[in-house]
Amino acid sequence: MTTPVEFGVDTFGDVTVDADGNRKSYAQVLRDVVDEAVLADEVGIDYFGVGEHHRDDFAISAPDVVLAAIAGRTRRIRLGTAVTVLSSDDPVRVFERFATLDAVSNGRAEITLGRGSFTESFPLFGYDLADYEVLFSEKIDLMAHLLTEQPVTWEGTVRPPLADANVFPKTESGRIKTWVGVGGSPESVVRAASYGMPLTLAIIGGDPARFAPYVDLYHRALEQVGLDRLPVAVHSPGFIADSDQEAADLVWPHSKAMHDRIGRERGWPPMSRAQFDGEIANGSQYIGAPETVARKIARTVRTLGVQRFDLKYSNGTIPHEHAMRNLELYGTKVIPLVRELLAAQGEAQLAQHAGQVAVLDVAAAVEAGVRHRGAAAEGVAQALGEVVRRHGMKCALM
């Protein structure tokens, strides 16, 4: 039986503006994020993820604290990160904090481990960027040991060794669900598989189909280490409004401002409206009316064969009120539509398969000697006609 696809949302706690265009305080942005998570829970969204950043355009630097506040006001939505920057954190403390979150949320905590797309945390916490690779590779290895919730003996170069160390609190389930977030590194895909961790693909630009080889690589790597298939998720930006034009026009100035600000740091050219519209039409911006966004999400889920789709619903400085409407439409309109589209396609595939089997059975009978025109040929025609009627296949007798 096919596992149902899940639908989540992510935010970095982007610092927003009020209705008059004035920048909000970090405190108010954080309170808004909690309110947004409460709404996400109410409208049936499966997962709420918050990113970790240490810069002035994002308010969330302590994801576990924000998630704990959300846990106290929600009842069913799962709560996790997007991502936890493990390289500049201590895996022991990460485990302790999220095991605590898991307890106070009644088992709803998840972690997504990653390197992060920004590097401000490295100098802030006293790490050398020259150690970028070794920090992540050693710390994810330690994290994998800690997740077993058994005594840990471990030694590396980036922190003091552990000898038969027990870490507390233990979880009621025996394990915190922990993903690895990947932005395009095949090595990271293989690493996730080698540790038996589910994979999250951050697809923020270009045709999502480009990432199909990464999904295939992940499945093959799991086979190589003798593990069953594990979930794959996609994280991509988007925004839903009542019409395609309204959605694009609302997001455009905020998206451009964010893109160009980060671009000045990284050497990107300014974004044009044509580029923005092209990304909506053919890339990884899920922007539009509910029907438009639902069709695009369904296409990505089908193409990549993923088990969860996470919409990065915050879009730079776009006001909280628009973010709330975005979440409302995603939960009440888009998700049900995607489920319908996926179910309809699944039924069509089953029907097509049944029809192909029926046609093959008829062909086998013909091959066995029923070749004369008369009653036998009429029977073949009737059989094929019945297949057409039942399964909507287009076929012709030659």
CA distance 50 to 166: 28
Of 375 and 122, which is predicted with more confidence? 122
199-202 vs 232-240, strand pairing mode: parallel
> What is the per-residue DSSP string for 364-382?
HHHHTT--STHHHHHHHHH
Mean of the pLDDT values across residues 15-25? 97
- pLDDT > 70: what percent of the chain? 87
What's the pLDDT tens digit per position in 126-170? 999 999 999 999 999 999 999 999 999 999 999 999 999 999 999
Of 317 and 360, which is predicted with more confidence? 317
What's the pLDDT tens digit per position in 81-133? 999 999 999 999 999 999 999 999 999 999 999 998 899 999 999 999 999 99
Distances in Å between the Cα of 95 and the Cα atoms of 38, 307, 314 are 25, 25, 27
Of 366 and 76, which is predicted with more confidence? 76
Q: Which two tokens stand for residue 199?
A: 């994979």
CA distance 36 to 55: 22
CA distance 198 to 193: 7
pLDDT for res 3 = 79
What's the pLDDT tens digit per position in 287-335? 999 999 999 999 999 999 999 999 999 999 999 999 999 999 999 999 9
> What is the per-residue DSSP string for 56-77?
TTB--S-HHHHHHHHHTT-SS-
- Nearest to 321, CA basis, from 261, 260, 235, 250: 250
- Does 377 score more than 70 pLDDT? no
CA distance 185 to 193: 13
DSSP state of 316: T
What's the pLDDT tens digit per position in 338-353? 999 999 987 676 566 5
pTM of the entire predicted model: 0.88
pLDDT for res 354 = 56
pLDDT for res 340 = 97
